[in-house]
Amino acid sequence: MVAGKSKISVQDLRVTYGHKAALKGISFDIYENDVFAIIGPAQSGKSTLLSVLNRTLEFTADARYRGIVKVDGDDIRHLHNVYALRRKIGMVAPLPVGLPLTIYDNVAFAPRMAGIRTRDELDHRVEQCLRQAALWDEVKDRLNTLGTRLSGGQQQRLTIARALSHQPEILCLDEFSIAIDPVTTMRIEEVLKDLSQHMTIILVTNLVQQARRLANRTMFLFNGEIVELDHSDVIFSDHPAQHKTYEYVNGIFG
Amino acid sequence: MRLRELVNSKELLKEWMIEKLIWICGISAIFFVFGIFFFVFREGADYLLRGFKVTEFFTSIEWYPTSRTQVRYGALALITGTFSVTLLAMFIAVPFGLGAAVFISEFCPPRLRESLKVIIELLAAIPSVVWGFIGLTIMNSLILNLFSAPIGLNVLNGGIILALMSVPIIVSIGEDALKAVPDSYREASLALGCTRWQMIFRVLVPAARNGLLAAVLLGVGRAVGETMAVLMATGHSIRIPGGVLEPVRTLTATIAAELGEAPVHSDHYQVLFIIGILLFSITFVVNLTADLVVRGIRRK
């Protein structure tokens, strides 16, 4: 599935933290219902890019961005309802952030904030999201215990369930497997494959193999610039367009 | 060479001394609390065991400690005095204090925040006798004019003064509690598409609830124990108040006003110490409740 409708369109995006440039003018499109991977070493601007998308960058006092970012054709800079944008995007952080609530309330949080009040609907939504995040069987008997009581891997799946809870159209995962064991990681990867049928997924990862397994297209970011953006087949082949890509993917890169 | 020989014996001695010194610092708190309780109790114990009428003390409003015909020690009016003033003070101070804490921690621009904090700390540094003076002069005439009350020194006056005195404590501790909530909670909840108010009430306040509760209870503690300001601002009249515009007298003010006049070890003197024990018990119960509530929350 290639070159569908553009879901996210980024044109000449530049982000600075004070005098330090984090993204130096990048342009690309992400297509609807695509799995799009962003790889690159630390400090290359991957997480910054995600925080531009749901406009959480503005909580960092000295951060500024220029350029045009469109989600579904709307320039996100001129939105008058930023909450609707954030509900459209599910965000999973590298380290799990369990809100100090019960497991149930963690997942029901966003639906409640969006105005869903009926118990049946919430129950249904919570179960569905926990199943999608491969966590339901482990927690179904203790939904009323604190989310922070779970193990690290379970907490991360809880944040995935929570990110799905407001039925986003775009799911961003920022190195989600950093705190999870390999078996669970594989289970979540299966889940992501299912979700990509009706959701755009942006996967920021340090594991190049994960990008190779999941993504249709992969972008290699380095120092705030795009080195290469192409189909994953090309990026992870023996002959990507840039020699640097080959070096990074194969771990030769210093 | 073995590890033990590597370590200088002087260093070991120093380590041992520091350890013991810190141990003493920690243990001394227990020592002082029990010491104070013991001495207060000892001063009142004799009468407490001999002729103290418990029912009269708690149910009668007749406080005539120096009567020639019949001495009566009914503290009900004093107890209601303390509770009415404290209740009114908390009614004003808790919403204001917590509101200010939320404003300073979440909405305030950084430069204003610093000056606000300094000013609020200044408010906490005003001596209680100065507060009492404000109650006696400014508040007094304000209440006389605004409410056309017969007397300006009353529950309302004392309550407002106490509220002003507890607000700085509630604000600074409440603000610390909110600031201690990790920023990741804020970002995570906002990323889920909730508004700032939803974030504050659904995430920050529950997360900081132990600290906020501690802030409120320290405010209550300050209000219950405050003496000089209420002595000057509440009118010092022994009665159960029928409304906020009536004068009252508190437990603390009674001790302060009468202890100097009561002959040492007389019945009157000992009853004043029994009031001290009562105050001690009230604060103890408040703290214990707070502790249990906090534990209950944590266990969940």
pLDDT tens-digit map of B161-209: 999 999 999 999 899 999 989 888 888 888 888 888 889 998 899 888 8
Residue B207 in domain? yes
Mean pLDDT of successive 10-residue stretches along chain B, which has 300 residues: 66 90 93 90 88 88 88 91 94 94 90 90 90 93 89 92 93 91 88 88 88 88 89 89 89 92 90 92 84 66
Give, in words, the CATH class of A34-51+91-249.
alpha beta
Of A87, A99, A100, nearest to B193 by CB-CB distance is A87
The secondary structure of B80-91, three-state, reads: HHHHHHHHHHHH
Q: How far apart are CA A65 and CA B181, in angstroms?
A: 28
Q: How far apart are CA B97 and CA B137, in angstroms?
A: 25
User: Domain range spanning residue B188?
Assistant: 78-299
Q: Are B247 and B151 in contact (CB under 8 A)?
A: yes
- Check if B21 contacts A (Cβ < 8 Å): no
- Bridge partners, residue A16, by sequence: A21, A64
Q: How many structural domains is chain B composed of?
A: 1
Which positions in chain A touch B198 (Cβ < 8 Å)? 113
Collect the ranges in chain A with pLDDT lower than 70.
Answer: 1-3, 253-254
Contact A86 B187 (CB under 8 A): no
- Bridge partners, residue A171, by sequence: A90, A201
Which positions in chain A touch B194 (Cβ < 8 Å)? 83, 109-110, 113
Which positions in chain A touch B191 (Cβ < 8 Å)? 54, 56, 86, 89, 91
Residue B21 in domain? no
ipTM over 0.85: no
Which positions in chain A touch B195 (Cβ < 8 Å)? 83, 113
Helix (H, G, I), strand (E, B) or coil at A80: coil
pLDDT at A61: 80
pLDDT at B296: 65
Contacts of A70 (CB under 8 A, 6+ apart): A8, A9, A10, A11, A76
Contact A56 B193 (CB under 8 A): no
Instruction: Give the CATH number of the domain where residue B210 resides.
Output: 1.10.3720.10
pLDDT at A1: 45
Residue B276 in domain? yes
A111 → chain B, closest CA residue: B192
Of B184, B193, B195, nearest to A97 by CB-CB distance is B184
Name the residue ranges covered by the structural domains of chain A: 34-51+91-249
Beta strands at A63-71 and A217-222: parallel, antiparallel or unpaired:
unpaired
What are the residues of chain A with a beta carbon less than 8 Å away from any beta carbon of chain B? 54, 56, 59, 83-87, 89, 91, 93, 95, 97, 99-101, 109-110, 112-114, 146, 159, 162-163, 165-166
pLDDT at B3: 60
